[in-house]
C-alpha cells in the first residue's frame, strides 16, 4: 500500500468541514421508505450484512445526512421549502424537514418539498407528498402523479411495483398498469433489476376452519400455531413481530412482541417477550398487564413469575394466588396437579387447581408416592399412614378431621377419573369421585367383602355405565354376581353365577361396550348395563365377542352368534378367527405355515380358498390380504382383487381410504425413500405413489397427506380430494388447515408479460443475459428464455448484481475459498478467502486475517494493497479503510482522498458522499468539497463550495 503524506490534506479537509458553525444530530433516511429519526451522519450499513457485504464489496457504514449519489442526484433532508423557517425550527425533531436533491455540482436542484423519496433509477425517483407516492424526473417535476400507497424503484425494463388501494401492481413509466393483474393472495412483490426483470411473489396465508370457511391473513401474517380456547393463533408479522390473531385472522393482540411461546408443561397461557421482560396472554386472547422478569410453568395449573425481587404464584388466568419468598420457592413441591408449599412452620399449604385459597394440612403431611393423578394423598408418621385426600375439586377428606378408615388405605389407583382405595389385604375400602364424595356406603363396603371386583373401562360418553363387575371369591363363594353402578349402588343377582364383558375390545366401545355375558344354572346369555336380557340365558356357552361375532356351543355343536343372538353354522376346519361383518379367516390344518382362507358365515359360502399368508379385517366390503410372497393387496366382497397384491404393506386409513406402500427396489434404499399411494374403496388412486408420504387425520375426519418433496393433499372423510396444489403447502394448525402457497419467481419483459413463467425454484436476477436457477439436482445457468446454458459445479452459487461472474463460497480444509464461474458455466478462478463480485475484471478479496486486497480476472492479488476495508474501483477510485477511517485510493492503492471519514459511498457521476459523525459532504475526485450539510439553530443547513449557505435562504430569527 502506498501512503501519501495525508496530514496537510486531512487538516485542510477538517478545516473545511468545521467551517460554518455548530453541528447536531442528523436524520436517518433509508433508500425508499425511510424513517425520519434523529441520528449521527453515518450508521452501520442496513442493506447488507456479513457475507453479503463482502459479496457486494460494500463499506461497513453508510451516509445518512446526504444520501449516496445515484445518476447524478443525491437525496438531502432540509427545512421544508413550503414552511417559514421559524416554524420549521419550532417543530419537534426533523418533522418540519422535507427531502430534495443535489446535483453532482453540489447544487440544490430539487427543493425540499417531499415527505420521503427514493433514489434515482433509470431517470425517475419515487417521491411521497401528502401521504401518496408518485415519481419525479431529474428536475423534480412529477412524471407520474402521486396516487399510490407505496412505490418501488424503476428497473432496467422500465417497470416498477406500486401498492394501489392495498394491492400490488406493475406499472410502466407512464404510470399505467401492465401485464395481467396479480393474484389476490399476493402479499409481497419484489421486482429486481436485469432484463428480463426478476419478479418474486410471496403469498398471504389462508386458513380453512373446520366448517370449511376460508380466512385470508392480512399484514403479512404468518400463522404459527393454535392457542387458547376460542380459535386463536400465535402469529407473526414479518415487520412488526409476534401477536395473537383471531379466527378471522384479524389481530386480537397487535404484533408487538419479539416472540410468543408456549410452555411444554402448560399451554394455557402464552409467554410474550418484550424488551423489558415477559407478559402473559390468557386463553381468551387478553393480555395480563404485569410485565415480569421471568415466567415459568410449574405444572398444568400453576405458574411462577418474578418481578422486582418478588415471586408471584399465578393461576392459569394470570391471577395472583400468593407472593412467595425465595425460600418458599426453593421448597415448592409439585405433586400431580397440586402444588405444595411447606415453608410455613405450622402447616402444609396445598394449592388446588381452580381454588384461590390453599387447602391447609398438618405440617407433618407428606405426599404419597403412589400415582394418583388428579387426586392428592398425603401420609404421616413413620408407617406412612394416609391422613388426607384432596379431590380434583379441592374437597378435603381427613386432614385435621379424624377419618378412621383413611389409615387403612394401603393402595390407591385412579380408574376412569375415580379413586379406588384398597387395604393391605386388597379389599376395597371405597371409591372417591371427582368431587370428593365416597360412593360406597358402609353397608355396600361390607357386602362386597369376599367378592372379586373387576373395574371396567368406562366410555367417556357413558358416565352412567357400571364401574365394575362383581364376582364371588372362589375360596369363599357367596351367591350372586353383578355390578357396582356409577352412583356406588350394588346390584347382585343370586341366579347369576358369573359375568364378563361381552366385548372388551376397543372396537366394541361404540356398540357392545355395555353388554355382558352372564352364566346361570340354566345357561348363558347376554344382558345390557341395566340387566335387560339381550340374548336369552339359554345358550350352552358364549365366548367373548370378536369383531361382532362370538363362538357359541348349541346342543354340543360349535356355532357363532351375532349381537342379536342369531346362530350361524361353521365349516369343519382346524382354526377359525372372526374378521368382522360375518367373515372368518380359516385354516384347514395345523401344519406350520398353513394358508388362510375366508368363509362368510352369513351367506354360508367360502369366499376364498386357503391361499393367503395373512388376512386383515373385513369392513365396508373390503379386506386386506397377503400372498405367500409377502405382498399385500385388497379383495372385495366376492373375493376378487380390488387392488392387486403388489404392495409391501397396507393400512386402512378410514372407512373410505387405504395407504399402500410399494416394496423397496434395492437393499440400499431406506424406509424414507419408500413410496406409498392413497387408494379409495373403489380401487382407484387418490394420490399416486409418492416418496415418504405421511398421513394425518383431523378430529372431523378430514385427511392431510404430505410428502417430503413438499406436496400436500387435503381429503374429506369420504376420500375425495378437496385441495391439492403443487405450489401450496397444506399443514394442520389444530383442527384448522393452513394453506401456505410457496413463493414463486418469474421474469417479466418490458410489457409486464411473463418472459419466463414463475416457478417455486429459487433463482437470481439476470446479469449480462444470464441467471442462476436452483433445481433439486443442482444449480444451473439459464439464458433470457429460461433455457439451460450449463450445469454449475456443485456448490452454493450466487450471481450478484453487476457481477461479471457467478461465485460460490466453499471450505477447503476449514479455510474459506471462493470459486468464480464465467457466463458459459466454466470454472474460471479459485482463490483462498472470501471474494466479492467481479466488476470490470476486478474483485475484492477478504483474506484469512480479515484484511482486504484486489484480485484480477485471473485471481492474481494486487501487490502491496492491504486495507481494513476496500471497494472495487469506480470512476478511477475505490474506498479504502485504515484503522477506523475511510478515504479513497487509486488503481495503485495510493490515497488520493485521505482516510478521515466514518462513511463513504462509491463514486458516481464524478462525485461521492462522505461523512464524519457530525456532517455529510459531497466531494469530487480530488477531494474538493462541493456541498455539506450541518445542523444549526435546530435546522439542517446546506452549504455549497466556498462555504456559501444554499439552504435555507435565511436562518431562524432566534439563531445567534
The CA-based angle 83-118-60, given to 5 degrees, is 115
**What does the pLDDT look like over 551-606, one tens digit per residue?**
998 777 899 999 889 999 999 999 999 999 999 999 999 999 899 999 999 999 99
Q: Is 768 helix (H, G, I), strand (E, B) or coil?
A: coil
Residue 864: is its pLDDT beyond 70? yes
Lookup: cell for 187? 402479499
Burial (CB count <10 Å: 0-12, 13-18, 19+), residue 822: middle
Task: Indicate the length of the chain as a whole number.
Answer: 960
Tell me which of 229 and 438 has the higher pLDDT. Answer: 438
CB 78 within 8 A of CB 65: no
Residue 119, pLDDT score: 96
Tell me which of 22 and 258 has the higher pLDDT. Answer: 258
How many CB atoms neighbour CB 901 within 10 A?
29
How would you label 670-696 residue by residue, b for 16+ Cβ within 10 Å and e otherwise?
eeeebbbbbbbbeeeebbeebeebebe
Lookup: cell for 959? 439563531
Residue 403: is its pLDDT beyond 60? yes
Residue 508: is its pLDDT beyond 60? no
State the Cα–Cα distance between residues 369 and 371, nearest whole angstrom: 6
Res. 213 pLDDT band, cuts 50 70 90: confident
How would you label 551-572 residue by residue, b for 16+ Cβ within 10 Å and e otherwise?
bbeeeeeebbbbbebeebebee
Res. 349 pLDDT band, cuts 50 70 90: very high
**What does the pLDDT look like over 786-805, one tens digit per residue?**
999 999 999 999 999 999 99
**Strand stretches in 221-307, DSSP E:** 221-227, 232-237, 241-245, 251-257, 259-262, 270-274, 277-281, 287-292, 294-297, 303-307
Determine how β-strand 788-791 pairs with β-strand 797-798.
unpaired
The Cα-based distances of 52 to 48, 305, 836 in angstroms read 6, 42, 9
* pLDDT > 70: percent of the chain: 93
* pLDDT > 90: percent of the chain: 69
Residue 40: is its pLDDT beyond 90? no
State the Cα–Cα distance between residues 724 and 704, nearest whole angstrom: 10
Lookup: cell for 302? 400453576
Which one-letter DSSP state was computed for residue 165? T
**Secondary-structure breakdown of the chain: helix, strand, coil percentages, each rounded to the nearest 5:** 5, 50, 45
User: Cell 390473531 maps to which residue?
Assistant: 245
Res. 507 pLDDT band, cuts 50 70 90: low
Residue 220, pLDDT score: 75
Residue 734, pLDDT score: 83
CA 441 vs. chain centroid, Å, equals 54
CB 66 within 8 A of CB 921: yes
Residue 329: is its pLDDT beyond 50? yes
CB 714 within 8 A of CB 721: yes
User: Average pLDDT of the chain?
Assistant: 89
Which one-letter DSSP state was computed for residue 163? E
- Strands ordered across the beta sheet of 74-79: 74-79, 97-102, 108-114
How many CB atoms neighbour CB 708 within 10 A?
12
Residue 738, pLDDT score: 85
Residue 219, pLDDT score: 65
Res. 475 pLDDT band, cuts 50 70 90: confident
User: Cell 399484514 maps to which residue?
Assistant: 219
Residue 655, pLDDT score: 94
Lookup: cell for 571? 365349516
Residue 512, pLDDT score: 67
Res. 384 pLDDT band, cuts 50 70 90: confident
State the Cα–Cα distance between residues 567 and 365, nearest whole angstrom: 60
User: First-to-last CA distance in the chain?
Assistant: 47
Prediction pTM value: 0.69
Lookup: cell for 485? 353402578
Tell me which of 39 and 764 has the higher pLDDT. Answer: 764
How would you label 91-112 residue by residue, b for 16+ Cβ within 10 Å and e otherwise?
eeebebbbbbbbbbbbebbbbb
Residue 445: is its pLDDT beyond 80? yes
Tell me which of 527 and 39 has the higher pLDDT. Answer: 527
Residue 736, pLDDT score: 86
Q: What residues have CB less than 8 Å from 238, skipping those under 6 apart?
A: 220, 222
User: Cell 368406562 maps to which residue?
Assistant: 458
- Rounded mean pLDDT, 155-168: 94
Q: What residues have CB less than 8 Å from 654, skipping those under 6 apart?
A: 697, 701, 703, 717, 719
Q: Which of 215-229, 333-347, 654-668 has the lowest mean pLDDT?
A: 215-229
Per DSSP, the residues of 879-893 read: EEEETTEEEEE-TTS
Residue 5, pLDDT score: 35
Residue 37: is its pLDDT beyond 60? no
CA 540 vs. chain centroid, Å, equals 61
Residue 510: is its pLDDT beyond 50? no
Q: Is 15 helix (H, G, I), strand (E, B) or coil?
A: helix
Burial (CB count <10 Å: 0-12, 13-18, 19+), residue 65: buried
- Rounded mean pLDDT, 915-935: 94
3-state secondary structure string, 350-406? EECCCCCCCEEEECCCEECCCCCCCCEEEEECCCCEEEEEECCCCCEEECCCCCHHH
Amino acid at each position: 500500500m502506498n501512503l501519501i503524506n495525508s496530514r496537510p490534506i486531512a487538516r485542510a479537509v477538517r478545516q473545511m468541514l468545521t467551517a460554518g458553525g455548530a453541528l447536531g444530530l442528523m436524520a436517518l433516511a433509508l433508500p425508499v421508505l425511510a424513517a425520519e429519526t434523529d441520528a449521527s451522519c453515518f450508521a452501520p450499513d442496513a442493506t447488507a450484512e456479513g457475507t453479503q457485504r463482502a459479496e457486494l464489496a460494500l463499506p461497513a457504514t453508510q451516509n445518512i445526512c446526504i444520501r449516496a449519489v445515484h445518476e447524478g442526484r443525491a437525496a438531502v433532508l432540509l427545512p421544508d421549502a413550503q414552511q417559514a423557517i421559524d416554524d420549521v425550527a419550532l417543530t419537534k425533531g426533523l418533522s418540519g424537514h422535507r427531502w430534495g436533491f443535489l446535483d453532482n455540482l453540489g447544487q440544490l436542484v430539487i427543493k425540499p418539498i417531499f415527505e420521503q423519496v427514493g433514489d434515482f433509477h433509470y431517470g425517475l425517483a419515487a417521491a411521497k407528498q401528502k401521504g401518496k407516492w408518485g415519481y419525479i424526473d431529474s428536475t423534480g417535476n412529477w412524471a407520474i402523479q402521486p396516487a399510490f400507497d407505496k412505490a418501488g424503484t424503476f428497473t432496467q425494463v422500465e417497470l416498477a411495483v406500486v401498492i394501489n388501494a392495498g394491492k400490488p401492481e406493475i406499472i410502466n413509466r407512464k404510470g399505467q398498469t401492465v401485464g395481467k393483474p396479480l393474484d389476490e393472495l399476493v402479499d409481497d412483490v419484489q421486482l429486481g433489476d436485469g432484463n428480463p426483470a426478476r419478479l418474486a411473489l410471496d403469498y398471504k396465508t389462508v386458513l380453512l376452519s373446520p366448517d370449511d370457511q376460508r380466512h385470508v391473513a392480512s399484514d403479512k401474517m404468518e400463522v404459527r400455531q393454535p392457542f387458547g380456547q376460542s380459535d386463536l393463533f400465535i402469529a407473526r408479522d414479518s415487520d412488526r413481530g409476534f401477536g395473537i390473531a383471531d379466527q378471522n385472522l384479524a389481530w386480537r393482540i397487535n404484533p408487538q412482541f419479539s416472540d410468543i411461546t408456549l410452555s411444554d408443561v402448560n399451554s394455557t397461557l402464552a409467554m410474550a417477550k418484550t424488551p423489558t421482560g415477559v407478559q402473559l396472554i390468557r386463553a381468551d386472547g387478553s393480555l395480563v398487564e404485569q410485565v415480569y422478569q421471568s415466567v415459568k410453568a410449574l405444572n398444568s395449573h400453576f405458574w411462577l413469575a418474578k418481578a422486582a425481587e418478588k415471586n408471584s404464584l399465578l393461576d392459569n388466568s394470570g391471577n395472583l394466588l400468593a407472593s412467595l419468598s425465595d425460600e418458599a420457592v426453593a421448597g415448592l413441591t409439585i405433586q400431580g396437579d397440586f402444588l405444595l408449599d411447606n415453608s410455613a412452620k405450622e402447616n402444609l399449604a396445598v394449592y388446588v387447581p381452580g381454588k384461590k385459597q390453599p387447602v391447609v394440612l398438618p405440617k407433618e403431611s407428606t405426599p404419597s408416592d403412589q400415582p394418583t393423578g388428579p387426586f392428592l394423598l398425603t401420609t404421616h408418621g413413620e408407617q406412612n399412614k394416609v391422613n388426607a385426600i384432596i379431590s380434583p375439586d379441592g374437597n378435603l377428606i381427613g386432614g385435621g378431621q379424624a377419618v378412621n378408615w383413611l389409615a387403612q388405605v394401603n393402595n390407591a389407583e385412579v380408574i376412569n377419573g375415580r379413586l379406588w382405595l384398597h387395604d393391605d389385604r386388597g379389599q376395597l375400602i371405597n371409591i372417591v369421585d371427582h368431587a370428593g364424595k365416597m360412593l360406597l356406603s358402609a353397608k355396600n363396603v361390607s357386602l362386597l367383602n369376599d367378592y372379586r371386583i373387576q373395574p371396567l373401562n368406562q366410555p367417556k360418553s357413558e358416565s352412567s355405565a357400571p364401574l365394575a363387575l362383581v364376582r364371588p371369591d372362589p375360596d369363599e363363594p357367596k351367591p350372586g354376581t353383578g355390578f357396582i353402578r356409577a352412583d356406588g349402588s350394588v346390584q347382585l343377582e343370586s341366579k347369576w353365577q358369573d359375568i364378563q364383558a361381552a366385548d372388551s375390545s376397543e372396537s366394541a366401545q361404540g356398540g357392545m361396550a355395555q353388554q355382558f355375558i352372564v352364566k346361570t344354572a340354566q345357561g348363558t346369555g347376554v344382558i345390557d348395563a341395566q340387566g335387560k336380557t339381550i340374548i336369552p340365558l339359554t345358550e350352552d356357552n358364549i365366548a367373548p365377542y370378536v369383531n361382532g361375532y362370538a363362538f357359541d356351543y348349541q346342543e354340543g355343536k360349535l356355532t357363532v352368534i351375532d349381537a342379536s343372538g342369531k346362530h350361524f353354522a361353521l365349516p369343519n376346519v382346524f382354526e377359525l378367527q372372526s374378521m368382522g361383518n360375518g367373515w372368518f379367516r380359516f385354516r384347514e390344518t395345523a401344519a406350520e405355515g398353513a394358508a388362510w382362507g375366508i368363509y362368510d358365515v352369513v351367506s354360508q359360502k367360502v369366499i376364498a380358498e386357503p391361499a393367503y399368508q395373512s388376512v386383515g379385517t373385513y369392513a365396508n366390503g373390503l379386506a386386506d390380504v397377503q400372498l405367500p410372497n409377502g405382498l399385500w393387496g385388497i379383495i372385495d366382497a366376492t373375493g376378487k382383487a380390488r387392488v392387486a397384491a403388489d404392495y409391501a404393506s397396507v393400512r386402512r386409513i378410514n372407512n373410505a381410504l387405504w395407504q399402500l406402500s410399494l416394496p423397496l427396489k434395492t437393499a440400499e434404499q431406506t424406509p424414507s425413500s419408500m413410496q406409498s399411494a392413497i387408494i379409495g374403496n373403489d380401487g382407484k388412486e387418490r394420490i399416486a405413489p409418492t416418496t415418504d408420504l405421511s398421513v394425518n387425520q383431523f378430529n372431523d375426519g378430514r385427511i392431510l397427506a404430505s410428502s417430503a418433496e413438499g406436496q400436500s393433499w387435503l381429503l374429506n372423510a369420504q376420500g375425495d380430494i378437496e385441495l391439492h396444489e403443487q405450489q401450496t403447502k397444506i399443514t394442520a394448525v389444530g383442527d384448522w388447515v393452513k394453506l401456505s402457497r410457496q413463493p414463486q419467481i418469474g421474469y417479466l419483459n418490458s410489457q409486464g408479460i411473463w418472459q419466463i413463467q414463475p416457478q417455486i425454484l429459487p433463482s437470481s436476477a439476470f446479469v449480462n443475459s444470464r441467471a442462476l436457477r436452483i433445481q433439486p439436482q443442482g444449480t444451473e445457468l439459464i439464458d433470457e428464455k429460461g433455457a439451460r446454458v450449463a450445469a454449475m459445479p456443485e456448490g452454493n452459487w450466487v450471481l450478484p448484481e453487476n457481477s461479471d461472474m457467478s461465485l460460490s463460497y466453499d471450505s477447503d480444509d476449514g479455510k474459506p475459498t471462493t470459486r468464480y464461474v464465467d457466463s458459459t458455466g466454466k470454472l474460471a478462478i479459485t482463490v483462498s478467502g472470501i471474494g466479492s463480485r467481479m466488476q470490470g475484471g476486478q474483485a475484492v478479496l477478504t483474506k484469512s486475517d480479515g484484511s482486504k486486497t484486489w484480485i484480477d480476472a485471473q485471481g492474481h492479488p494486487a501487490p502491496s494493497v492491504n486495507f481494513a476495508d476496500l471497494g472495487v474501483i469506480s470512476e478511477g477510485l475505490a474506498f479504502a479503510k485504515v484503522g477506523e477511517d475511510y478515504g479513497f485510493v487509486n488503481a495503485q492503492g495510493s490515497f488520493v482522498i485521505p482516510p478521515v471519514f466514518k462513511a463513504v459511498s462509491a463514486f458516481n457521476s464524478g462525485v461521492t458522499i462522505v461523512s464524519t459523525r457530525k456532517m455529510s459532504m459531497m466531494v469530487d475526485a480530488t477531494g474538493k468539497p462541493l456541498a455539506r450539510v450541518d445542523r444549526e439553530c435546530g435546522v439542517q443547513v446546506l452549504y455549497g463550495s466556498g462555504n456559501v449557505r444554499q439552504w435555507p435562504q435565511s436562518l431562524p430569527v432566534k439563531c445567534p
